[in-house]
Amino acid sequence: GKALAEVPPVLQLPCHRVVDSGGRIVPHWPEQRELLKREGVRFKKNGCVDLRNYLWEVEIP
């Protein structure tokens, strides 16, 4: 997250998609939740992203 904060905005990286291992969003960035909701991301009652639905899994051949 800290590395993404240093990226110039002109690159338009989707850093709002970065959540921690528990699905928690950045505490002092209220826009992050709205950006994720606009993409269809659903949140659990505790306010965390439901990682069972959105966790990226790598398939190793």
Domain contains 60: no
Predicted TM-score (pTM) of this structure = 0.74
Domain contains 33: yes
- Residues 14-61 have pLDDT tens digits of 888 889 989 999 888 889 999 999 999 999 999 999 988 887 776 776
d(CA 61, CA 49): 29
Q: What is the pLDDT at residue 58?
A: 63
**Total domains present in the chain:** 1
Question: 4 — phi, psi (to 5°)?
Answer: -65, -30
Q: Which pLDDT band holds residue 8 (cuts at 50, 70, 90)?
A: confident
Domain contains 59: no
| DSSP annotation string for 20-54 | -TT----TT-HHHHHHHHHTT--B-TTS-B-HHHH
